[in-house]
Chain A
Amino acid sequence: MFNVTNHIKSETAVEKNNPQTPFSVAKGTPQNNPFSIEKGTPQKPYFEKKELGEFNPFEARRVLNVCNICGYCNGFCDVFDAAQRRPALTTADLAHLAYLCHGCRNCLYACQYAPPHQFNINVPRTLTQMRQYSDALHVWPSALAGALRHSARTALLLTGGAIALLLGLIWLLAPNTNASGFYRVVSLPVMIVLAVIPLSWSLLALTRSWRSYWQLTRPQTAVVTWRSLRLALQDVVLLRNLRGGGHGCNDVDERFSHLRRRLHQGLLIGVGLCFAATLTALFYHHALGWSAPYPVVSIPVLLGTSGGIGIVLTTSGLLMLKWRGDLTPTTRSAQTADRTVLLVLMTVAVSGLALLIERETAAMAILLALHLGGVSALFALLPYSKLVHVGYRMMALVIEQMERQSAHHQSVLISE
């Protein structure tokens, strides 16, 4: 099990052992002075390559300190200017920078110090690890950090469990012959309970996690303004930090492409359409008294169908990119977490579309269990999967805009 407190302890322990820094100077050299050069034998303690299964904040500090000296990559995204504003690179700074990084990977392929260079500078991977570390630190309740750590197992358990629960309910409860359509199999109150309970829990957990992150990373001097919120929203819509230098991300290797950025936004639109379909259906049911299932040419079905198709296409695309992609800029566990969420979303979308096609047949009950179980699990997974990034990343973007405004404000004051 992943233990957050152990990580914090180990961090302080490292700091104690290395009062200033993790780098020491080689001693006992043949020359009279302690700084002789030996070709091909780098100073071990400093340039040591680490396989970072377990995250070490010192490594992130070392890497971004090199970036702060070099500065060549500042034209790719907001991370590098933000890092220069934070030369101390505290854990809070690193947590902010980790989410400001959208993982476009331009800086890895452009880095003269990227592995196998002995400096071993790999910013996207280091910040991916920092995100994983930060997520575990802020998860609520903290006992569930392991659930986040082992995202595939968690998703499998929750999705499988929810589907099994629904199948059990359908099997146990006799069909309600008075109701029509889906409600014949699962009554509306049961559906609502299966959605509302996980969703309420998740909203509570997300609020706690996101608030704890905000308290750690928010700037002490700058304030949230409408302007910073508006600009941050614009950054979300355009995924400005995923454009790299303008040619796009390094989706699978050193070539540039905008595909990942577009697929991500396509997925967002697909999920939005499905959510709109659900809201419209709720409105039909409660305000207008029209009961599901709705005809094929109706607003909920059209919205849900287009959203579902969108999700299937975009998740397939993203899964393909992840499958083909270079593992250097990321970690295996982050890759697994990404794939897990994509597969859950795909399950929900595919079962929803199948349900539409087969809703008049005997397969309906099983498909309904798959779909509702998937949705219920998706809600429960919000704080314990990759999906938690939504809030963290938005906060990082708001903080970046706040700082830029206050930096601009200060430069105006100075020039006056």
Chain B
Amino acid sequence: MNPAPLVIIGGGAAALCAAIAARQRGATVLLLEQAPRWQRGGNTRHSRNLRIAHDTITPLSLGTYSAAEFRADLDRATGTASNPALRQLLVDESATLTEWLAGAGVQLQPVTEGRVPPSRRTAFLRGGGTAMINALYARAAALGVMIRYDSAVTGLQFEDGRVIRVEVGRGAGAWSVTPQGVIVCSGGAQANRNWWRERWGAAAAGVVNRGIPHADGAVLNLLLQQGAQAVGDPTQAYLVAVDARSPADDGGIVTRIRCMPRGLVVDAHGQRRYDEGGDTASTRYARWGQRLLQFPGQVGYLLLDAQGLREAPPALVPPLRAPDLAVLAQQLKIPVPALRETVAAYNAAVQPPADAAQALDWHTVGLEPPKSRYALPLRERPFAAYPMRPGITFTYHGVGVDTQLRVLRRDGSSFENVWAAGMVMAPNIFSSGYVSGLALTISCVSGRLAGEQNSHL
């Protein structure tokens, strides 16, 4: 008779790293992926890079990035961790990650090829997250991990602090398995509309999910119902400004709207609300995502004139265009006089710098809110607008774990045979803000560690 398996719930980077690490140490592993095969891999499908500490110069990143610097970046960008020891562990373990992944067949892109954005802090996956997912599934299958797609976990039966039964699927196709242990790698609740509605009320209807539609937080809820400790901030989510015409789910990286500093952002009443030139770094995507949640109807419009449009990067869906502002306002259903007035007031407040060729130095004077950079007048026809909405990327709500990644109960003790890895436990490490490449590093490191805990199974 086959030994009871270690059950891994989830199918993204954390689940695969856990499966491979545990299988390499002799465990019998069953991986349950909720998605169909073509959509396997969780939001790792949409990812691109990993944040890694490296004390020496490597082909994958420029210069060096010490563990202390990584740690300092996290403290600065995401505040203090609810579990500082775990944050330190993540940073330390990231140093050996790229080598481990390469050993599992994942290809990384050397900076010497000159094709990835020069980065000192992150290493890039060749072909992106989906290529990584394919490599990890191939390795897991070759090692003998049992992989089941279309297998959503619908129930966890506990007895004396142990999971004794994992229930999969509903109705006629339902089945169950008795596990040795369970590693939960099921991600956050970012695809769950009910979760949004409970937190944001009517505004939830105006939000787009950038990732896969399967991240419904069902297993996270099962654990919380069984008395698991909740960590993080259940009211917040990481939001990014995306094109309002994006599909409801799974639009990924290409739906982002990027060129706010080059234009004006108005709401449905034609009013500006923030300094568009205030943040020109990549942090602006998330800044605008949060702001859009507060806009009426959760929609904002990025206005550009013909010159701005020429300088804008390519976009998934072309902007709406009109020969003049009145027609554009009608297309956007913004009151015409309000939009005209906003643009006229802005144009009148534009102050050219000493060197007019320096677009960066153009700014407004006497305008509220100001536009502090790239404040070139909007004059050249035709005018264009990108409608924008907040796009949810991940939630900051998860289960507490100890440094062995065992899931903690509210009384501080841990479940005997339940571990968690990936975004479902990431709020132990950070529960606000973000830095590039962090989610994937947390997923791979925690997945590997959780898998290694299960060598005895």
Contact = CB atoms under 8 A, between A and B. Distances in A.
Contacts of A246: 107, 126
B208 A72 contact: no
Contact of A110 (B113, B134, B206): B134
B92 interface: no
B253 interface: yes
B131 A117 contact: no
Of the listed residues A34, A65, A107, A112, the one surrounded by the most CB atoms of chain B closer than 10 A to its CB is A112
Of the listed residues B113, B245, B297, B320, the one surrounded by the most CB atoms of chain A closer than 10 A to its CB is B245
Contact of A254 (B45, B115, B134): B134
A75 B332 contact: no
B394 to A, nearest CB: 16
Interface stretch (A39-47, A93-101, A172-180, A384-392): A39-47
A255 B137 CA distance: 11
Of the listed residues A23, A75, A246, the one surrounded by the most CB atoms of chain B closer than 10 A to its CB is A75
Contact of B313 (A34, A69, A76, A245): A69
B280 to A, nearest CB: 19
Contacts of A42: 247-248
A23 B113 contact: no
Nearest to B108: A75
Contacts of B129: 72, 112
B252 A245 contact: no
A26 B320 CA distance: 12
Contact of A106 (B127, B208, B321, B387): B127
A27 B249 CA distance: 20
A31 B107 CA distance: 46
B290 interface: no
B441 to A, nearest CB: 18
Contacts of A116: 38
A111 interface: yes
A68 B127 contact: no
Nearest to A245: B126
Given A23-B318, A76-B127, A37 B253 contact: no
Contact of A33 (B125, B252, B333): B333
A20 B250 contact: no
B248 A39 contact: yes
Nearest to A117: B250
B248 A81 contact: no
A21 B115 contact: no
B297 A32 contact: yes
B443 interface: no
B46 interface: yes
B50 to A, nearest CB: 14
Q: Give chain A's interface secondary structure class.
A: loop
Given A34-B332, A35-B299, A65 B320 contact: no
Given A76-B126, A111-B130, A118 B38 contact: no
Of the listed residues A25, A36, A40, A72, the one surrounded by the most CB atoms of chain B closer than 10 A to its CB is A72
Given A33-B268, A35-B389, A75-B113, A40 B248 contact: yes
Nearest to A25: B245
Interface string B38-71: 1100000110100000000000000000000000
B318 A21 contact: yes
B421 interface: no
B248 A38 contact: yes
A109 B254 CA distance: 18
B387 A37 contact: no
A35 B297 CA distance: 10
A66 B127 CA distance: 14
A224 interface: no
A109 to B, nearest CB: 6
Given A38-B248, A118-B247, A110 B297 contact: no
A98 to B, nearest CB: 19
A245 B316 contact: no
B271 interface: no
Contacts of B247: 42-43, 47, 118
Interface in A69-102: 69-70, 72-76, 81, 87
Given A42-B248, A69-B316, A74-B115, 13 more contacts: A20-B318, A20-B321, A26-B245, A31-B205, A33-B332, A37-B207, A66-B316, A72-B125, A75-B107, A76-B127, A109-B131, A112-B130, A245-B126
Interface of B: 38-39, 45-46, 48, 107, 109, 113, 115-116, 124-131, 134, 138, 193, 205-208, 244-245, 247-254, 268, 297, 299, 313-318, 320-321, 331-333, 387, 389
19 contacts: A33-B297, A34-B332, A34-B333, A36-B206, A39-B249, A40-B248, A42-B247, A42-B248, A43-B317, A72-B125, A72-B128, A73-B127, A73-B128, A75-B116, A109-B131, A110-B128, A117-B250, A247-B107, A254-B134
- The 6 A-B residue pairs whose C-beta atoms are closest, nearest first, are A72-B128, A110-B127, A35-B244, A110-B131, A75-B126, A39-B248
